[in-house]
Structure 1
């Protein structure tokens, strides 16, 4: 009896391992097309890319684009909130099909995921209090800096950016918490995406913050994160983005969310 039980457990483990391996290596487009559903992972506090409004409704620039792209294929998008620091792990495990939430192309990420064509230009900026006396990045060297865990800002900061070696690096799961700490004086600056900062600060009832831009900071580009084993899904997303470029939908969404299309990467 014991031998039979051990044999059964071994078979089950082999089956589970086989399923996991198949999930990690196969092209999932046929499954997505058949089920007419695709799962997008996001941080639902990341304005204006994907965020939950006070009424509980999920909205955002990337939410609109993802829906528009997959509407071309008659596929519904399910949005799933994830721990942003675990986004690549969630993608690899098959919990989500895509990372689509202000996800910048970086050399570190390119080792782990495939990217769609870029569709929006961004850069890393510093936010401080207006009365802080801080005028440039170098003044953070002896102070505490807030950064979101797993963000492009963290990767950029940790890649030996000597102009911004703060005395202490404080990591946050979500950026709104870093603004609370900045206001309270627990940190003296926040390194983050310019697109997030511009939208967040523009919608505050009272803006006590100042944005500092370093001209030496290179631009980065938002794209969709895709498993490297999903070339067909990547191809379909790229085709969809190109169609939205051609018919003017991407320009319209830029105007809707930013009031401008200056960050738009057109034809």
Structure 2
């Protein structure tokens, strides 16, 4: 009987410890690279703003949690997530098989293609033949960097990685780059339709990219379930459309 009581006590303590260790998601910290307007950028007052930020704040509202935004270079997002610097990556991160080996993803948030930007009248196209001998800027850690290095660099295109997208545009404007490769919507609204992009244009047709979502640790299945439920709610009750309309006059919702 004593042995039985001891076993029951140990089991009870183990369950209690498990409950005590369960994560309380009253605060959700999102990693963000604030150089990618209109998805995420820095306002004059220092706050991060953009479509991703609005989506994240709405998710937190539905989960009765406080959103905290942690700025981080994009190429360090996954290591920082794994190191628990923050709880999720909400920074226009496209779902790829390589990333899925390391982290989990929420349900998709939007789906936009990739585009090449170059000087007006350059005649450049997003092909290895057209870009051979040219320098193309990309943000480190992005799918655009991976695409350019896999498809163009072996054929004589100089692919130049930068810590953030603002640095890419600075060197494009100064003439140190012949072209830049990034998300099409980001290029259009965050550069081409601004004063700094007046001498540039999209070069050729866009390249399909895939859907972007929130990157999460694989162990945080409870947080993923909560976030997925919040995303479903936004999609179904019209909130997503309202937030989308603040930034775009076209649909960026995930396909399918």
The TM-score with structure 1 as length reference comes to 0.82
Partner Cα separation in structure 2 for residue 134 and residue 103 of structure 1: 27
The alpha-carbon deviation at position 180 of structure 1 amounts to 1.7
Residue matched to 1:6:
none
The alpha-carbon deviation at position 108 of structure 1 amounts to 1.2
1:116 and 2:106 matched = yes
Partner Cα separation in structure 2 for residue 178 and residue 265 of structure 1: 27
Residue matched to 1:207:
198
Partner Cα separation in structure 2 for residue 222 and residue 55 of structure 1: 27
In the alignment, which of 227, 231, 240 is matched to residue 221 of structure 2?
A: 231
- Deviation track 1:203-246 (CA, whole Å, cap 9, x = no partner) reads 4126111112446x333111010001111111111100000011
The alpha-carbon deviation at position 196 of structure 1 amounts to 1.0
The alpha-carbon deviation at position 53 of structure 1 amounts to 1.2
The alpha-carbon deviation at position 29 of structure 1 amounts to 9.8
Residue matched to 1:55:
45
Residue matched to 1:148:
139
Relative to structure 1, the CA distance from residue 112 to residue 247 in structure 2 (aligned partners, 3 Å threshold; closer, same or farther) is: same
Where does 1:54-203 land on structure 2 (aligned, <5 Å)? 54-137=44-127, 138-158=129-149, 160-162=150-152, 165-203=155-193
Partner Cα separation in structure 2 for residue 164 and residue 28 of structure 1: 53
Structure 1 contact 120–223 (Cα < 8 Å) conserved: yes
- Size of the aligned set, in residue pairs, is 237
Partner Cα separation in structure 2 for residue 121 and residue 29 of structure 1: 36
Structure 2 contact 37–190 (Cα < 8 Å) conserved: yes
128-137 or 71-80, which moves further after superposition? 128-137
Structure 2 contact 73–164 (Cα < 8 Å) conserved: no
Secondary structure of the corresponding residue to residue 29 of structure 2? strand
Residue matched to 2:253:
264
- Deviation track 1:112-131 (CA, whole Å, cap 9, x = no partner) reads 11011112011211010103
Relative to structure 1, the CA distance from residue 84 to residue 187 in structure 2 (aligned partners, 3 Å threshold; closer, same or farther) is: same
Relative to structure 1, the CA distance from residue 226 to residue 235 in structure 2 (aligned partners, 3 Å threshold; closer, same or farther) is: same
Structure 2 contact 125–131 (Cα < 8 Å) conserved: no
Partner Cα separation in structure 1 for residue 253 and residue 24 of structure 2: 29
Partner Cα separation in structure 1 for residue 69 and residue 20 of structure 2: 17
Partner Cα separation in structure 1 for residue 22 and residue 253 of structure 2: 31
Partner Cα separation in structure 2 for residue 79 and residue 130 of structure 1: 37
Q: Which runs of 5+ in 2 are unaligned?
A: 1-17
Partner Cα separation in structure 2 for residue 195 and residue 166 of structure 1: 27
The alpha-carbon deviation at position 156 of structure 1 amounts to 2.0
Relative to structure 1, the CA distance from residue 133 to residue 266 in structure 2 (aligned partners, 3 Å threshold; closer, same or farther) is: closer
Residue matched to 1:22:
none
